[in-house]
Amino acid sequence: MILVLFGAPGVGKGTQAVILAEKLGIAHLSTGDAFRAAIKNQTAVGMLAKEYVDAGKLVPDEVVTRIVEEAMSGTQFADGCILDGFPRTRAQADALDQLLAKKGLSIGRVVNLEVDDETIIARLLQRGRADDTEAIIRDRLNVYNNETAPLLEYYGEKGLLHSVNGIGDVEEVSSRVLVALN
């Protein structure tokens, strides 16, 4: 099963992805985590990605697609995976379709976690990551609205999209996500 966890920054994709990966016994791929690890380890991808991640901008599509392709070639992804934070642009969505088609796979479901902007800002300020200052959070929400949110229509038209209320405690939200998957 290829599952895409979709939603603005701060809706809880990462938290839910970890829980679902455990419950469903499939791998979890977070492009944000992959970039943070690459930056910490000062790899070539990390050097490329740093200025974008620090500023809350999208890393260029080719770089993102390359790390996803590399990660998905690993054996732990043979039974499927939960994608968290990817795709974020139409070009990434197309690249994902092509990548999956080469493996004879396709997306099973796209779960969209819905949380209002004010709740998101409060949550992220509390999390306090380096890119979680109020100004950068607002930029990331703008990037989401302009570049990523249009994918909702794309996946909606394909009949893959299920929206879930992301407000509530972690267990409550994860049971809603599981319902959306059944």
Task: Point out which residues bind ligand AMP (CB under 6 A).
Answer: 9, 31-32, 35, 52-53, 56-59, 64, 85-86, 88, 92, 140
**Least distance from C-beta 25 to ligand AMP, angstroms?**
23
**Least distance from C-beta 47 to ligand AMP, angstroms?**
14
Question: Which residue is closest to ligand AMP by CB?
Answer: 32
The DSSP annotation for 79-143 comes to: T-EEEES---SHHHHHHHHHHHHHTT--EEEEEEEE--HHHHHHHHHHH--TT-SHHHHHHHHHH
Per the listing, tokens 């879930």 go with 164
Q: Which is nearer to ligand AMP, 35 or 161 (CB)?
A: 35
Alpha-carbon distance of 4 to 84, in angstroms, equals 6
**Least distance from C-beta 118 to ligand AMP, angstroms?**
18
Active site positions, annotated: 13, 88, 127, 129, 140
For the chain, the distance separating the N- and C-terminal CA atoms, rounded to the nearest angstrom, is 12
Do 137 and 9 contact (CB within 8 A), yes or no? Answer: yes
